[in-house]
A and B are shown apart, each in its own frame.
Chain A
Amino acid sequence: MKNEMFIEFSSVSENESFARVTVAAFVAQLDPTMDELTEIKTVVSEAVTNAIIHGYNNEPNHKIEISCVLNDGEIDLVIKDFGIGIEDVNEARQPLYTSKPDLERSGMGFTIIENFMDSVEVISKPEVGTTVHMKKQLTNSKTVYN
Protein backbone atom coordinates (compact mmCIF):
# COMPACT_ATOMS: atom_id res chain seq x y z
CA MET A 1 0.00 0.00 0.00
CA LYS A 2 1.16 3.52 -0.75
CA ASN A 3 0.49 6.39 1.60
CA GLU A 4 1.91 9.89 1.66
CA MET A 5 1.90 13.12 3.63
CA PHE A 6 3.28 16.63 3.34
CA ILE A 7 3.82 19.30 5.96
CA GLU A 8 5.15 22.83 5.84
CA PHE A 9 6.13 24.83 8.92
CA SER A 10 8.07 27.90 10.06
CA SER A 11 11.83 27.75 10.58
CA VAL A 12 11.71 28.07 14.36
CA SER A 13 13.43 25.65 16.73
CA GLU A 14 10.15 24.91 18.56
CA ASN A 15 9.16 23.01 15.40
CA GLU A 16 12.04 20.51 15.66
CA SER A 17 10.06 18.35 18.08
CA PHE A 18 6.84 18.96 16.14
CA ALA A 19 8.49 17.69 12.96
CA ARG A 20 10.02 14.51 14.40
CA VAL A 21 6.91 13.57 16.37
CA THR A 22 4.68 14.15 13.33
CA VAL A 23 6.82 12.01 11.02
CA ALA A 24 7.07 9.29 13.69
CA ALA A 25 3.29 9.27 14.08
CA PHE A 26 2.86 8.86 10.32
CA VAL A 27 5.47 6.10 10.07
CA ALA A 28 3.99 4.25 13.09
CA GLN A 29 1.36 2.64 10.82
CA LEU A 30 4.13 0.46 9.34
CA ASP A 31 4.68 -1.01 12.82
CA PRO A 32 8.38 -0.14 13.07
CA THR A 33 10.54 -1.31 15.97
CA MET A 34 11.27 1.19 18.76
CA ASP A 35 14.84 1.48 17.47
CA GLU A 36 13.64 2.27 13.95
CA LEU A 37 11.24 4.88 15.27
CA THR A 38 14.04 6.52 17.28
CA GLU A 39 16.23 6.51 14.17
CA ILE A 40 13.52 8.21 12.10
CA LYS A 41 12.92 10.82 14.81
CA THR A 42 16.65 11.50 15.06
CA VAL A 43 17.22 12.01 11.32
CA VAL A 44 14.21 14.35 11.08
CA SER A 45 15.55 16.32 14.02
CA GLU A 46 19.01 16.55 12.41
CA ALA A 47 17.79 17.64 8.98
CA VAL A 48 15.29 20.19 10.35
CA THR A 49 17.92 21.60 12.72
CA ASN A 50 20.33 21.95 9.77
CA ALA A 51 17.66 23.82 7.81
CA ILE A 52 17.00 26.21 10.71
CA ILE A 53 20.58 26.89 11.80
CA HIS A 54 22.48 26.64 8.53
CA GLY A 55 19.92 27.04 5.74
CA TYR A 56 18.13 29.98 7.32
CA ASN A 57 20.77 31.26 9.78
CA ASN A 58 18.22 31.08 12.60
CA GLU A 59 15.83 33.48 10.88
CA PRO A 60 12.30 32.51 11.93
CA ASN A 61 10.29 33.79 8.94
CA HIS A 62 11.07 31.01 6.45
CA LYS A 63 9.47 27.68 5.58
CA ILE A 64 10.62 24.09 5.83
CA GLU A 65 8.86 21.29 3.94
CA ILE A 66 8.71 17.60 4.76
CA SER A 67 7.19 14.99 2.54
CA CYS A 68 7.03 11.35 3.45
CA VAL A 69 5.94 8.43 1.28
CA LEU A 70 5.37 4.95 2.65
CA ASN A 71 5.47 2.23 0.06
CA ASP A 72 5.57 -1.49 0.89
CA GLY A 73 7.44 -0.93 4.14
CA GLU A 74 9.87 1.57 2.67
CA ILE A 75 10.06 5.10 3.99
CA ASP A 76 10.91 7.83 1.50
CA LEU A 77 11.57 11.05 3.37
CA VAL A 78 12.36 14.46 1.86
CA ILE A 79 13.25 17.48 4.01
CA LYS A 80 13.63 20.72 2.11
CA ASP A 81 14.60 24.32 2.81
CA PHE A 82 14.91 27.35 0.53
CA GLY A 83 17.85 28.90 2.35
CA ILE A 84 21.46 29.78 1.61
CA GLY A 85 22.44 26.28 0.49
CA ILE A 86 25.71 24.42 0.95
CA GLU A 87 28.81 25.36 -1.11
CA ASP A 88 30.52 21.98 -0.69
CA VAL A 89 28.17 19.12 0.16
CA ASN A 90 30.97 16.56 0.48
CA GLU A 91 32.74 18.69 3.04
CA ALA A 92 29.50 19.24 4.97
CA ARG A 93 28.92 15.48 5.15
CA GLN A 94 32.29 14.79 6.76
CA PRO A 95 32.07 13.61 10.40
CA LEU A 96 32.81 16.40 12.90
CA TYR A 97 32.70 19.09 10.18
CA THR A 98 30.76 22.17 11.22
CA SER A 99 30.52 25.61 9.70
CA LYS A 100 29.41 26.96 13.09
CA PRO A 101 31.83 25.73 15.79
CA ASP A 102 31.03 28.83 17.88
CA LEU A 103 27.47 27.51 18.34
CA GLU A 104 28.80 24.30 19.91
CA ARG A 105 27.65 22.18 17.01
CA SER A 106 29.06 18.65 17.11
CA GLY A 107 29.31 18.30 13.34
CA MET A 108 27.69 14.87 13.55
CA GLY A 109 24.32 15.61 11.91
CA PHE A 110 24.92 14.16 8.45
CA THR A 111 26.97 11.26 9.87
CA ILE A 112 24.04 10.28 12.11
CA ILE A 113 21.62 10.58 9.17
CA GLU A 114 23.86 8.34 7.03
CA ASN A 115 24.12 5.77 9.81
CA PHE A 116 20.40 5.60 10.46
CA MET A 117 19.08 5.57 6.87
CA ASP A 118 19.71 3.17 3.97
CA SER A 119 20.39 5.95 1.48
CA VAL A 120 20.93 9.70 1.77
CA GLU A 121 21.11 12.18 -1.06
CA VAL A 122 21.87 15.84 -0.42
CA ILE A 123 20.98 18.24 -3.22
CA SER A 124 22.04 21.81 -2.55
CA LYS A 125 22.53 25.00 -4.50
CA PRO A 126 23.85 28.24 -2.98
CA GLU A 127 21.03 30.79 -2.56
CA VAL A 128 18.43 28.24 -3.72
CA GLY A 129 18.29 25.81 -0.82
CA THR A 130 18.97 22.30 0.35
CA THR A 131 17.01 19.09 -0.08
CA VAL A 132 17.84 15.98 1.92
CA HIS A 133 16.33 12.84 0.37
CA MET A 134 16.47 9.74 2.56
CA LYS A 135 15.21 6.18 2.26
CA LYS A 136 14.84 3.39 4.76
CA GLN A 137 13.37 -0.09 4.49
CA LEU A 138 11.84 -1.30 7.73
CA THR A 139 12.98 -4.73 8.90
CA ASN A 140 9.61 -6.26 9.81
CA SER A 141 8.09 -5.33 6.45
CA LYS A 142 11.08 -6.78 4.60
CA THR A 143 10.20 -10.26 5.85
CA VAL A 144 6.55 -9.73 5.00
CA TYR A 145 7.02 -8.50 1.46
CA ASN A 146 10.04 -10.45 0.23
Chain B
Amino acid sequence: MGLNYTFSVKEDVLIVRLAGEIDHHESENLRDVWKETMYANSVKHVILNMESVSFMDSSGLGVVLGRYKEVLQLGGEMVVCSVSPSIKRLFEMSGLFKIVRLEESEEYALETLGVAS
Protein backbone atom coordinates (compact mmCIF):
# COMPACT_ATOMS: atom_id res chain seq x y z
CA MET B 1 0.00 0.00 0.00
CA GLY B 2 2.08 2.91 1.27
CA LEU B 3 1.63 6.61 0.65
CA ASN B 4 2.31 8.68 -2.46
CA TYR B 5 2.35 12.43 -2.62
CA THR B 6 2.70 15.15 -5.23
CA PHE B 7 3.20 18.85 -4.66
CA SER B 8 2.39 21.69 -7.00
CA VAL B 9 2.52 25.46 -6.59
CA LYS B 10 -0.05 27.89 -7.99
CA GLU B 11 0.81 31.52 -7.20
CA ASP B 12 1.17 31.60 -3.40
CA VAL B 13 -0.64 28.29 -2.81
CA LEU B 14 1.00 24.93 -2.23
CA ILE B 15 -1.24 22.05 -3.31
CA VAL B 16 -0.50 18.77 -1.55
CA ARG B 17 -2.12 15.69 -3.08
CA LEU B 18 -1.96 12.52 -1.03
CA ALA B 19 -2.76 8.99 -2.18
CA GLY B 20 -2.75 5.82 -0.09
CA GLU B 21 -2.45 5.24 3.65
CA ILE B 22 -1.22 7.75 6.25
CA ASP B 23 0.00 6.12 9.44
CA HIS B 24 2.95 6.72 11.79
CA HIS B 25 5.31 4.86 9.45
CA GLU B 26 4.42 7.04 6.46
CA SER B 27 3.88 10.29 8.35
CA GLU B 28 7.51 10.94 9.28
CA ASN B 29 8.71 11.06 5.69
CA LEU B 30 5.63 13.01 4.59
CA ARG B 31 6.32 15.61 7.27
CA ASP B 32 9.93 16.10 6.13
CA VAL B 33 9.13 16.40 2.41
CA TRP B 34 6.09 18.62 2.98
CA LYS B 35 8.06 20.97 5.26
CA GLU B 36 10.94 21.18 2.83
CA THR B 37 8.63 21.91 -0.13
CA MET B 38 6.77 24.57 1.81
CA TYR B 39 9.90 26.54 2.61
CA ALA B 40 11.61 25.94 -0.76
CA ASN B 41 8.73 27.73 -2.51
CA SER B 42 7.46 31.12 -1.44
CA VAL B 43 3.95 30.00 -0.59
CA LYS B 44 1.50 31.32 1.94
CA HIS B 45 -1.44 28.96 1.80
CA VAL B 46 -1.78 25.18 1.65
CA ILE B 47 -4.51 23.10 0.01
CA LEU B 48 -4.52 19.49 1.16
CA ASN B 49 -6.29 17.25 -1.34
CA MET B 50 -7.19 13.93 0.32
CA GLU B 51 -9.28 12.49 -2.49
CA SER B 52 -7.16 9.33 -2.82
CA VAL B 53 -6.41 8.70 0.85
CA SER B 54 -7.78 5.27 1.74
CA PHE B 55 -6.69 5.21 5.39
CA MET B 56 -5.59 7.70 8.01
CA ASP B 57 -5.03 7.54 11.77
CA SER B 58 -4.02 10.05 14.46
CA SER B 59 -0.46 10.21 13.09
CA GLY B 60 -1.93 11.88 10.00
CA LEU B 61 -3.76 14.36 12.21
CA GLY B 62 -0.42 15.18 13.85
CA VAL B 63 1.22 15.98 10.50
CA VAL B 64 -1.70 18.18 9.41
CA LEU B 65 -1.66 19.99 12.76
CA GLY B 66 2.09 20.53 12.50
CA ARG B 67 1.83 22.04 9.00
CA TYR B 68 -1.16 24.15 10.07
CA LYS B 69 1.04 25.81 12.70
CA GLU B 70 3.65 26.61 10.05
CA VAL B 71 1.06 28.01 7.62
CA LEU B 72 -0.20 30.20 10.46
CA GLN B 73 3.36 31.54 10.90
CA LEU B 74 3.39 32.41 7.18
CA GLY B 75 0.16 34.33 7.66
CA GLY B 76 -1.74 31.93 5.43
CA GLU B 77 -4.59 29.49 5.58
CA MET B 78 -4.88 25.73 5.33
CA VAL B 79 -7.76 24.30 3.32
CA VAL B 80 -8.59 20.59 3.17
CA CYS B 81 -10.63 19.19 0.31
CA SER B 82 -12.14 15.96 -1.05
CA VAL B 83 -12.23 14.23 2.33
CA SER B 84 -13.82 10.78 2.71
CA PRO B 85 -16.50 10.29 5.40
CA SER B 86 -14.18 8.25 7.67
CA ILE B 87 -11.39 10.84 7.55
CA LYS B 88 -13.93 13.59 8.04
CA ARG B 89 -14.95 11.85 11.25
CA LEU B 90 -11.36 11.89 12.54
CA PHE B 91 -11.06 15.61 11.76
CA GLU B 92 -14.33 16.30 13.55
CA MET B 93 -13.35 14.19 16.55
CA SER B 94 -10.10 16.10 16.99
CA GLY B 95 -11.64 19.53 16.42
CA LEU B 96 -9.38 20.18 13.43
CA PHE B 97 -12.21 21.73 11.39
CA LYS B 98 -12.21 24.60 13.88
CA ILE B 99 -8.84 25.68 12.50
CA VAL B 100 -8.62 24.30 8.96
CA ARG B 101 -11.30 25.02 6.36
CA LEU B 102 -13.04 22.18 4.52
CA GLU B 103 -14.05 22.57 0.87
CA GLU B 104 -15.63 20.21 -1.63
CA SER B 105 -12.99 20.29 -4.35
CA GLU B 106 -9.49 21.48 -5.12
CA GLU B 107 -10.77 23.87 -7.80
CA TYR B 108 -13.16 25.54 -5.43
CA ALA B 109 -10.54 25.67 -2.66
CA LEU B 110 -8.17 27.45 -5.08
CA GLU B 111 -10.89 29.90 -6.01
CA THR B 112 -11.54 30.78 -2.38
CA LEU B 113 -7.85 31.57 -1.99
CA GLY B 114 -8.04 33.94 -4.95
CA VAL B 115 -6.28 31.72 -7.48
CA ALA B 116 -7.92 31.16 -10.85
CA SER B 117 -7.62 27.53 -11.88
Tell me what chain A mostly uses at the interface: helix, strand, loop, or mixed.
helix
Q: Which of B48-95 contact A (CB under 8 A)?
A: 55, 57-59, 61-63, 65-66, 85-86, 90, 93-94
Contacts between chains A and B (CB distance < 8 A), count:
71
* Interface size class of chain B, counting residues whose CB lies under 8 Å from the partner chain: 20 to 34
Whether, in the assembled complex, B17 has its beta carbon less than 8 Å from a beta carbon of chain A, the answer is no
Whether, in the assembled complex, A105 has its beta carbon less than 8 Å from a beta carbon of chain B, the answer is yes
B86/A17 in contact, CB under 8 A: no
**Interface residues on chain A, number (Cβ under 8 Å):** 27
B31/A104 in contact, CB under 8 A: yes
| A53 touching B24 in the complex, CB below 8 Å, given contacts A38-B86, A106-B94 | yes
| A16 touching B93 in the complex, CB below 8 Å, given contacts A38-B55, A49-B59, A112-B57 | no
Residue from B1, B21, B28, B61 within 8 A of A106 (CB atoms)? B61
Alpha-carbon distance A52/B28, docked complex (angstroms): 14
Whether, in the assembled complex, B23 has its beta carbon less than 8 Å from a beta carbon of chain A, the answer is yes
Task: Report which A residues bind B (CB closer than 8 A).
Answer: 13-14, 16-17, 20-21, 35, 38, 41-42, 45-46, 49, 52-53, 95-96, 103-109, 111-112, 115
